[in-house]
Structure 1
Amino acid sequence: MVAKLPFVLEVRVLTLLHIGTGRVLQEGFDYVVKDGQTLRIHEGRFVEWISSQGEAFARLTQGTPPGELLRAHLRPGSPLVRYSLPGVPENAREIRECRKDPLDQPYIPGSSLKGALRTVLLWQRWREGRRVLSRTRLRDDPRFAAKDLEGEEFGETPHKDIFRALCLRDSSPASKERLVLANVRCRAPGARMGIPLALEAIQRDTTFVVEGYLDTTVFRPWGAWTRPGFLAPEKLGWLAWEYLAKAARQKALARLEQDFRWAQSMGTEVAFWNDLRERIRQAETGTSL
């Protein structure tokens, strides 16, 4: 029996996708807006440019935003510009940065995809078990709110967690041209306007390739843990792509129905949600997430 079962996933983005780094870019210091585009300043080459102007110039301009000093030199393709994004921020002077590789190419971290699959599988297991979630069982920290629930289903420690068997590498990168500047609003329940946010985002219909493998060794008696029932065959089946794909589609449709009802109640155009529902329903059965 082969211990490690390799696989290759093709991940296609159906909506604008933002995977944040936690960094907020400031206008004038990290980027400038010019001719309907957002230009990201190359920090390293800016330092080199300042040095080339002489010590007196550096002293006189100390504290001046790089965007002001470089405005005449900043344009798409300039060595002082890391990359340019179509679109400009609206009602915002800062941008949430999207995760990219050292060459400024967007990608999907394996940990992000694995986390999404954990959410899907936990939702599916609770749905199949017809369980009801009580808020009293959630932790106060939003980052680990469902940690106890995950422990019951997947394993109480990292060594006993069934997702230890699923290895996902970071995806192949997409080109810089697949990045855009997206203006969105963060709305609380019942709010009509919301807070305007500008995000770096990956365009819809961008395709990524993710490689990985399923390590079945941990499910064997000689390589597994002694917790009763952990080696039940169906738990290995939970990580089968056919099962995960079906669960992901059902979870997506359930969330879309919830969002669709919200959009209707707010009087918002629902074509976006209708399009997504149709695309998910038309997905190939068995392998499409």
Structure 2
Amino acid sequence: MIQQDHLQIFDLTLNVWAPLFVGNGSSYTKKEYMYNTRNGKVSFLDEQKFFSFLVEHDLVDKYGQFMLSEQSNLWAFLTKDCGISDAELKTLTRYQIEVGDALDAEHSLKEIHAFQRDAQGHAYIPGSSIKGALRTAWLLSAVLADRSTGHSLAQNRRATFPEEKYVNQLHLRTLKDESIASDAVNSIFRGIQVSDSAPIPDAQMVLVGKFDALVNGSFAKGSNRGIPMCRECAASGTKVRFKLTLDQSVLKGRITKESLLEAIQQFDTYYEQTYSRHFTPPSGAVNLPQQPHLILGGGSGFFAKSLAYPYLGEEEGLRWTAEQMKQMFHNHKHERDAENGISPHTMKYARFRGRLYPYGYCGVSIL
């Protein structure tokens, strides 16, 4: 730790135990990337260089025909139909990552959901993603410490957890009736800053498939071969580094390194006792380290991002969540969730090289 007056600056390391997906909202269609079946890697083109190459080699019309055809393997088209060497293609590539078993060129390629990348094309994790996960863990511990009773949430899908009750502690701005304003000015989380991560090397990025497992360890109908898309993820075993700054002129000891680590431990315990214990791991699932962890990113699921269960209590939280699931996903058979004891009734898994990992499990160290 570095102490600078009221600022405490820590090194926060995210230890990725299961594929971690932090998307940038974009995706690549089957015809927008190259899957080289010889080296098992997928490459993403530098569009400007690629189209200049097509013009220089009089391939624009041929490429247009490819885009309108049923053929979907861009690498096969460029190497076999156009006679472009792998060495030439490499000069047109922004980056490439390992495919594992996420793609099958013999049958059908898939849409790829892209990871967050900076202006230079380096994969990274925004600090806001980590701050959000820490916020959820801290709020869960605050809710569990709240001994008041009679909590309730509306049954419509717009109902939100009243986090301002727990975070608006600063009293810096009040309304005309002298009540505390429910805005970021009064949020205690003003005192926490997390930097964007250091770049993640492409050698530590992989493609993974997505599977929905039911409570008995089987896969939801129609998903035994995975959802027809895959994700660009930070691989299991990756370490991602951030700077965590606690401004104690704001926090005044109410949030510390120790309290954050305790909140992570409490989140881990609550998640296991209330949610994951209901699920039998599917065949091929890995055994993750038995250490406190956060769950974040795409695929981490409703439970890792919602505080309905701790706020309402396990029984009422189950009923409320089942109702929300039923309203939002009409064809996913959530009508019996409350009767079956858990909602949502699926857990999201990533598959890489035949092994299944629950998405986004990450250990955290703060030094």
CA contact (8 A) 1:32 1:41 kept: no
CA contact (8 A) 1:6 1:213 kept: yes
Aligned partner of 1:119 in structure 2 is: 136
Letter in 1 for 2:233: A
Residues in 2 aligned to 1:163 and 1:81: alpha-carbon distance in whole angstroms = 41
Over 6 Å off, 4+ runs: 188-191
Aligned partner of 2:41 in structure 1 is: 37
Are the structure 2 counterparts of residues 248 and 92 from structure 1 closer, same or farther at C-alpha, using a change threshold of 3 Å?
A: farther
Moved more, 31-40 or 167-176: 31-40
Are the structure 2 counterparts of residues 43 and 253 from structure 1 closer, same or farther at C-alpha, using a change threshold of 3 Å?
A: farther
Are the structure 2 counterparts of residues 201 and 166 from structure 1 closer, same or farther at C-alpha, using a change threshold of 3 Å?
A: same
Aligned partner of 1:58 in structure 2 is: 60
Residues in 1 aligned to 2:156 and 2:165: alpha-carbon distance in whole angstroms = 13
CA contact (8 A) 1:74 1:81 kept: no
Cα deviation, 1:134-162, whole Å, max 9, x if unaligned, reads: 34288617xxx33xx11111122011111
Aligned partner of 2:300 in structure 1 is: none
Pair 1:163 & 2:163 matched: no
Pair 1:177 & 2:203 matched: yes
RMSD: 3.3
Cα deviation, 1:138-192, whole Å, max 9, x if unaligned, reads: 8617xxx33xx11111122011111111111101112110001111214577883
Are the structure 2 counterparts of residues 104 and 252 from structure 1 closer, same or farther at C-alpha, using a change threshold of 3 Å?
A: farther
CA contact (8 A) 2:10 2:366 kept: no
Aligned to 2:291, what secondary structure does the other structure show? helix
Segments of structure 2 that go 5 or more residues without pairing to the other structure are 68-72, 169-181, 294-363
Are the structure 2 counterparts of residues 139 and 117 from structure 1 closer, same or farther at C-alpha, using a change threshold of 3 Å?
A: farther
Q: TM-score scaled by structure 1?
A: 0.75
Aligned partner of 2:239 in structure 1 is: 207
Are the structure 2 counterparts of residues 270 and 122 from structure 1 closer, same or farther at C-alpha, using a change threshold of 3 Å?
A: farther
Residues in 1 aligned to 2:214 and 2:84: alpha-carbon distance in whole angstroms = 41
Residues in 2 aligned to 1:249 and 1:184: alpha-carbon distance in whole angstroms = 27
CA contact (8 A) 1:92 1:198 kept: no
Pair 1:192 & 2:219 matched: yes
Cα deviation, 1:214-244, whole Å, max 9, x if unaligned, reads: 2233x3xxxxxxxxxxxxxxx6434211111
Q: TM-score scaled by structure 2?
A: 0.61
Aligned to 1:38, what secondary structure does the other structure show? strand
Letter in 2 for 1:13: V
Residues in 2 aligned to 1:263 and 1:189: alpha-carbon distance in whole angstroms = 4
Of the three residues 148, 163, 172, the one matched with 1:150 is 163
Aligned partner of 1:229 in structure 2 is: none
Residues in 2 aligned to 1:261 and 1:212: alpha-carbon distance in whole angstroms = 32
CA contact (8 A) 1:171 1:208 kept: yes
Letter in 2 for 1:70: L
Residues in 1 aligned to 2:98 and 2:260: alpha-carbon distance in whole angstroms = 35
Are the structure 2 counterparts of residues 75 and 83 from structure 1 closer, same or farther at C-alpha, using a change threshold of 3 Å?
A: farther
Letter in 2 for 1:78: K
Letter in 2 for 1:248: I
Residues in 1 aligned to 2:94 and 2:45: alpha-carbon distance in whole angstroms = 6
Pair 1:242 & 2:242 matched: no
Are the structure 2 counterparts of residues 86 and 100 from structure 1 closer, same or farther at C-alpha, using a change threshold of 3 Å?
A: same
Aligned to 1:62, what secondary structure does the other structure show? helix
Letter in 2 for 1:250: Q
Residues in 2 aligned to 1:22 and 1:203: alpha-carbon distance in whole angstroms = 19
Are the structure 2 counterparts of residues 213 and 261 from structure 1 closer, same or farther at C-alpha, using a change threshold of 3 Å?
A: closer
Aligned to 2:96, what secondary structure does the other structure show? strand
- Tell me which of the two structures has the higher relative contact order, counting C-alpha pairs closer than 8 angstroms and 6 or more residues apart: 2
Aligned partner of 1:6 in structure 2 is: 9
Displacement after TM superposition at 1:105 (Å): 2.8
Are the structure 2 counterparts of residues 4 and 261 from structure 1 closer, same or farther at C-alpha, using a change threshold of 3 Å?
A: closer
Residues in 2 aligned to 1:31 and 1:186: alpha-carbon distance in whole angstroms = 27
Are the structure 2 counterparts of residues 84 and 58 from structure 1 closer, same or farther at C-alpha, using a change threshold of 3 Å?
A: same
Cα deviation, 1:193-215, whole Å, max 9, x if unaligned, reads: 34514111101221122114222
Aligned to 1:78, what secondary structure does the other structure show? helix
Are the structure 2 counterparts of residues 74 and 38 from structure 1 closer, same or farther at C-alpha, using a change threshold of 3 Å?
A: farther
Letter in 2 for 1:263: F
Aligned partner of 1:49 in structure 2 is: 53
Moved more, 15-24 or 127-136: 127-136
CA contact (8 A) 1:114 1:168 kept: yes
